[in-house]
Amino acid sequence: MQGLPAIQDIVNLAAKIITSRTFLEIVVFPGFLNVFVGAALLTWLERKVIARVQLRIGPLYAGMWGILQPIADGIKLLFKEMIFPELADAKLLMVCALGLMMIAAAPVVAIPFGDGLVIANMDVGLIYVFAAISLFPTLILLIGWGSNSKYSFIGGLRSLFQQVAYEIPMWLSVLGIVMLTGTLNLTDIVRAQEKLWFVVPQILGFVVFFAAVLAELERIPFDLPEAESELVMGWMTELTGAAFMVGFLAMYTKLYVMSALITALFLGGWSGPSILPQPVWFLLKTFLVATVIVIIRGAFPRVRVDILLRTGWTRLLILAFANVFVTAMLIWLGFGWFWRV
């Protein structure tokens, strides 16, 4: 009976850890469960909204309005056989697909879902999110190379070109916000918007950032890496079964995370009338942004690679610089105190 107290201690410790706020934050609410459920809900939302845009009904039979469809899809994909092409690097594909999921979920730790409801309140939160996101095309290129298929490889290369086109305008477009608030901490950035959301004084930055996010998420009109009519499924062509599920879910996780980032940077984050709690406002805005991105998919055609590059380097970059200039003028004219934390 010597071992029993030790077991009791371990059980107590486990209970303490599980009920602690940090654990709940990491695993349940702003953390991973929230991200996965959000991403799965977004797959359903996308199918439903696109169906309505095209005068169809969309998922209907699984649960109310087909809301259980993501679960059915997940079970189906989990039980499918994983087929890899001859000479494909199966290990590399698996590792990279899992890495995509990890990197897509990583930025969540820095995004505040409420005042103080953030896993890691970092001083460099904004740069952290961008740094994590910038690893995506690397893994996509590796998947494209490892698949030993021309469609996948072209998709991976296109993803790289796309990064060249969007990344610099994306970093520059949020510079105005950083200049106004004087911080890179996302919680402080949201706090600074209590009086006026940044979408108003930073409207140019918002437009550039939104376009860059569309390119970043590989959504229509910038879905070149997975252009279905040209490249079958782009870099995802040779992913099957569970590997495909992970890669696909990673893309929707990224959609969720970037919608949340747009909400936090430009749409006031958690702020809203106090009839609803802060996280609810945040989630409402996030899903609204995601819905707009989905509707854009239903409404626009795809652009060509060279047009995307030209847009990124001539239009978006110049707009981003103009935004920086306007913001500097605002501060110079003495309006800077309004948003400073």
Partner 1 sequence: MPDIAFLALSGLVIASAVFALEARELIYGAVGLGLSLIGIAGLFILLGAEYLAMFQIAVYVGAVVVLILFTIMLVERERGRIVEEEEPVRLGRAGIYVAGLVALAVAAAVILLAPVSPEAPEFYRAPLQELGRSMASSYSVALVILGLLIGATVVGGLTLVKIEQKEKTSGTAQ
Q: Under DSSP, is residue 12 helix (H, G, I), strand (E, B) or coil?
A: helix
Smallest distance from partner 1 to CB 23, Å = 16
For 182, counting Cβ atoms within 10 Å of its Cβ (0-12 exposed, 13-18 middle, 19+ buried), the class is middle
Give the count of beta carbons closer than 10 Å to the beta carbon of residue 207.
16
Of 209 and 287, CB closest to partner 1: 209
Of 145 and 209, CB closest to partner 1: 145
Strands (E), the chain: none
Contact yes or no for 103/132 (Cβ under 8 A): yes
DSSP single-letter state for residue 315: I
Contact yes or no for 78/245 (Cβ under 8 A): yes
Of 81 and 86, CB closest to partner 1: 86
Label residue 116 left, alpha or beta by phi (over 0 means left) and psi (-120 to 50 means alpha): left
DSSP H or E run through 213: helix 203-216
Of 132 and 294, CB closest to partner 1: 132
Smallest distance from partner 1 to CB 309, Å = 14
Amino acid identity, residue 95? Answer: V
Nearest CA-CA partner of 227 in 157, 138, 310:
157
Of 140 and 264, CB closest to partner 1: 140
For helices 32-53 and 241-266, angle between their N-to-C axes, nearest 10 degrees: 90
Smallest distance from partner 1 to CB 122, Å = 7
Of the chain, the end-to-end C-alpha distance in Å amounts to 59
Smallest distance from partner 1 to CB 266, Å = 21
Q: Which residues bind partner 1 (CB under 8 A)?
A: 87, 89, 92, 122-124, 127-128, 130-132, 134-135, 137-138, 141-142, 145, 148, 153, 160, 163, 182-184
d(CA 190, CA 265): 7
Residue in this structure with the two tokens 């290990």, named with its chain if needed: 91
Residue in this structure with the two tokens 């999110």, named with its chain if needed: 129
Nearest CA-CA partner of 266 in 326, 138, 180, 142:
180
Smallest distance from partner 1 to CB 86, Å = 11
Smallest distance from partner 1 to CB 39, Å = 23
Smallest distance from partner 1 to CB 313, Å = 11
Of 57 and 120, CB closest to partner 1: 120
Of 82 and 127, CB closest to partner 1: 127
Of 82 and 92, CB closest to partner 1: 92
DSSP single-letter state for residue 217: T
Of 184 and 190, CB closest to partner 1: 184
Smallest distance from partner 1 to CB 44, Å = 32
Which tokens hold the place of 283?
A: 């989630």
Smallest distance from partner 1 to CB 325, Å = 17
